[in-house]
């Protein structure tokens, strides 16, 4: 996945167009493709999608901002999701969030300056019996204390970058 530290190469995106019909119905799938490739919807893709589907750029922008699934800003190499659903809230998710915010020096929705982590507060992620829970990328970490949460995050700090 492309991240803050790398240039966005739109040719990678264009190369995949042959998999998508040149029709207005492909706007959302193409936005999903862009987000999958780059980690966010780089505004540079609007023009490409418009040319391919015939949908005006203003409409494509409208679709992107309407759906919460799409991001218009870059994300870090790792996305940390702290669950604030009911079970996790009761199990003191706030203290987990506080510890991670303190460890990384960022708040909800922000990305560390080195592009390594993005922090998001989310609703139930389906592992309530493990509350309080966080997810880092696709990995779930449960039954956390603030200290354990810091420890888990530090493991990702130390992991070598994927290239």
Beta bridge partners of 8: none
Residue 87 interacts with ligand FES (CB under 6 A)?
Answer: yes
Residue 124 interacts with ligand FES (CB under 6 A)?
Answer: yes
Residue 133 interacts with ligand FES (CB under 6 A)?
Answer: yes
Residue 8 interacts with ligand FES (CB under 6 A)?
Answer: no
Q: Looking at beta carbons only, is 25 or 126 nearer to ligand FES? A: 126
Residue closest to ligand FES (Cβ): 85
Ramachandran class of 80: left when φ > 0, alpha when ψ lies in -120 to 50, beta otherwise: beta
C-alpha distances in Å from residue 88, one per residue of 18, 85, 95, 120, 121: 44, 5, 10, 14, 11
Residue 86 interacts with ligand FES (CB under 6 A)?
Answer: yes
Residue 83 interacts with ligand FES (CB under 6 A)?
Answer: yes
Q: In whole angstroms, what is the distance from residue 101 CA to residue 80 CA? A: 11
Residue 75 phi, psi dihedral angles, 5° rounding: -115, 165
Residue 27 interacts with ligand FES (CB under 6 A)?
Answer: no
Segment contacting ligand FES by CB under 6 A, of 14-22, 41-49, 71-79, 118-126 = 118-126
C-alpha distances in Å from residue 31, one per residue of 9, 26, 48, 67, 110: 15, 9, 11, 11, 22
Smallest distance, ligand FES to C-beta of residue 97, A: 12
Interface with ligand FES (CB under 6 A): 83, 85-88, 124-128, 131, 133
């Amino acid at each position: 996945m492309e991240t803050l530290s790398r240039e966005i190469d739109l040719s990678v995106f264009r190369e995949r167009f042959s998999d998508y019909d040149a029709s207005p119905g492909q706007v959302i799938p193409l936005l999903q493709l862009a987000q999958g490739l780059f980690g966010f919807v780089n505004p540079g893709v609007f023009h490409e999608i418009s040319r391919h589907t015939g949908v005006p750029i203003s409409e494509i922008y409208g679709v992107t901002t309407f759906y919460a699934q799409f991001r218009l800003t870059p994300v870090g190499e790792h996305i940390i999701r702290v669950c604030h659903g009911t079970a996790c809230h009761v199990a003191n998710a706030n203290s987990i969030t506080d510890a991670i915010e303190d460890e990384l020096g960022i708040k909800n929705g922000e990305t560390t300056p080195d592009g390594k982590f993005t922090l998001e507060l989310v609703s139930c992620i389906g592992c309530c019996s493990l509350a309080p829970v966080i997810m880092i990328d696709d990995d779930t970490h449960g039954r956390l204390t603030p200290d354990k949460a810091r420890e888990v995050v530090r493991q990702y700090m130390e992991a070598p970058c994927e290239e």
